[in-house]
Amino acid sequence: MKTAPTIAIGLALAAVLVSQAEKRPNIIFLMADDQSTYTLGCYGNPDVQTPNIDQLASDGIAFDNHYDTTAICMASRATVMTGMYEYKTGCNFSHGDMLKETWQKSYPMLLREAGYMTAFAGKFGFDLKDGPEGKRLPLPAPDFDRWGGGPGQTNYETAKNKSMAAYAGEYPHSTLSYGAFGRDFIRDAAKAGKPFSLSISFKAPHKPASPDPRFDDVYAGKTFTKPANYGRENGEHFSRQSQHDRQYERFHSWNYSDQYDEVMATYHQQIHAIDVAVGMIRQALEEHGVAGNTVIIYTSDNGFFCGSHGYGSKVLPYEESSRVPMIMFDPRHPNSGKKLRSKGLTGNIDFAPTILKLAGLPAPANMDGGDLTELYANPKGDIHDALSLINVWGKPATHALAVVTKEMKYIHWGYAAEGFEVTEELYHLGKDPLELVNQAGNPEYRQALETLRKTYDARLAHWKAEAVPYHNYQPYGTIFDRHVPWAEKETQARTKGKKKK
């Protein structure tokens, strides 16, 4: 039989643990699929209805210079989980799956080890394997306390997503089913009294489009304002290399050229459903008394051209493809509720280290990202001087490495076979956010060009030093080198990244 002092010590220890758990915030990470910045009212679009996400931005801080360092879902999602650039995760279509040892250092794994109750729902986005040449492993459902994830692209029909099938009766379309999943997990985690981490990756608005019909009336007959850089005439200054894959032809095949309003109505309808799901999640936080201690982050895995510059889809390192919405709300912070915005340069490499920092955990040394809480405390501050923007997927001509700062962007198109010529693009984003004028040949920008070239070379040096020795990432240290003649890299450049998504 336990003595009274022993019981007292046990109760005291339990009280301390509960107190510590209460001090650690709950963390919710919400990510859309293919959502551009001009889909939200809080990013300046008066044509759309996104009241819940707009309110989240008002309550927290919206980030105006946030980039996905690789603008395609598999690589971007791997970066989000690990805080590393693609060439360090070794993970993308046509390259390979994530190694289990890399996954072990992801934010969900580290949070769970630290006592967080964890959940994931939606499109997981990548697979795991047990070594560079090893076998593919099942999705890591056992690594979470609650699992609603699925393989591949998942499905818009809830009933076809095995882990979410229980929600199909009330929510036959998957978008709201994820809102319900989040609602129920919040309820159960609040009852358990443990800090929790909820990660939801919506399938919407990924094509092929399949919007929830309950929102058909939201944009019925709506005419949408086209962005000022819409159309082929606003992309004539882009490199020939950038026109050499499906992003270019999809301006027509996806009907941005001839059915713009209809296509955009469907696109925005899918995002409106996400907005409703965000409302469901925030309501659950209030109902279960944990709203005041829950940090929420909202973003997208990549952007979308939607006809800008006469392109469709994503992948390329231009603004519409790589710059995405990002909102963070920490109800504990005195800067919340002030409708603040940050111009600081941020990227998807920042999520994992930030989430760990919020939980009171150190970020592993392998992570490349910075701490977003510094910008939350000082929205006028900076945590990056520059970020790398990467594309090593698709046809070799479109492979590129770019660098972006708050003011400028430099893109190096090095593919020089089949009549192509090495091309440089330089955009003064501070004055030309729509990327309408390539300043690479402008004598007035000579010094800026030289500065960005040096930044590019430094970023490539990091690639050469840090890239994984598998999945064909090492050769790009040569392929992207501005100082190596094309003849010395032509063979390897032609053979990389040809496998389709």
Q: What SS3 state is found at 40?
A: coil
Residue 15 predicted with pLDDT over 80? no
Q: How long a stretch of residues is the chain?
A: 501
- pLDDT category, 490, cuts 50, 70, 90? confident
What DSSP designation does 44 have?
T
User: What is each CA distance from 475 to 95, 215, 464, 468, in whole angstroms?
Assistant: 12, 48, 9, 11
CATH numbers and ranges of domains, the chain = 25-380 (3.40.720.10), 388-495 (3.30.1120)
pLDDT of 65 strictly over 50: yes
Mean pLDDT value of segment 436-448: 98
Residue 2 pLDDT greater than 50, yes or no = no
Instruction: Give me the pLDDT at residue 495, please.
Output: 63
| pLDDT (average), residues 90-107 | 97
pLDDT band at 489 (very low <50, low <70, confident <90, very high): confident
Q: What are phi and psi of 178, to 5 degrees?
A: -70, -35
Distances (CA, A) of 257 to 224, 232, 377: 13, 9, 43
Please identify which residue in the block is written with the tokens 């469709």.
Answer: 312
User: How far apart, in whole angstroms, are the C-alpha atoms of residue 332 and residue 330?
Assistant: 5
Measured between alpha carbons, how far is 299 from 301 in angstroms, rounded to an integer? 7
C-beta atoms surrounding 377 within 10 Å: 14
Backbone angles phi, psi at 336, to 5 degrees: -70, 150
pLDDT for 265: 98
Rounded CA separation 237/252 (Å): 19
Cβ atoms of 61 and 331 closer than 8 Å: no
pLDDT in tens, 30-41: 999 999 999 999
The pLDDT value given to residue 105: 98
Residue with tokens 């009280």, as numbered in its chain: 15
Q: Is the pLDDT confidence value at 416 over 60?
A: yes
Taking all residues of the chain, what is their mean pLDDT, rounded to a whole number? 94
Query: Is residue 184 over pLDDT 90?
Result: yes
Residue 3 has pLDDT above 60, yes or no: no
Taking the CB of residue 261, how many other CB atoms lie within 10 A of it?
Answer: 13
Least confidently predicted of 64-68, 130-134, 371-375:
130-134
Higher pLDDT, 399 or 21: 399
pLDDT at 252 over 90: yes
Between CA 411 and CA 424 the distance in angstroms is: 6
The band of 22, judged by pLDDT with boundaries at 50, 70 and 90, is: low
Task: Write the single-letter amino acid at 152.
Answer: G
pLDDT higher than threshold 70 for residue 21: no
How far is CA 501 from its chain centroid? Answer: 18
- Average pLDDT on 324-349 reads 98
CB-based contact 190:290 (threshold 8 Å): yes
Query: What's the pLDDT band for 233 if we cut at 50, 70, 90?
Result: very high
Q: Note the Cα 447 to chain centre separation in Å.
A: 32
Q: Cα(170)–Cα(188) distance, rounded to whole angstroms? A: 19
With 50 as the cut, is the pLDDT of residue 42 above it?
Answer: yes
The band of 13, judged by pLDDT with boundaries at 50, 70 and 90, is: very low
Indicate the pTM of the whole model.
Answer: 0.94
Give the residues across from 93 on adjacent strands.
none
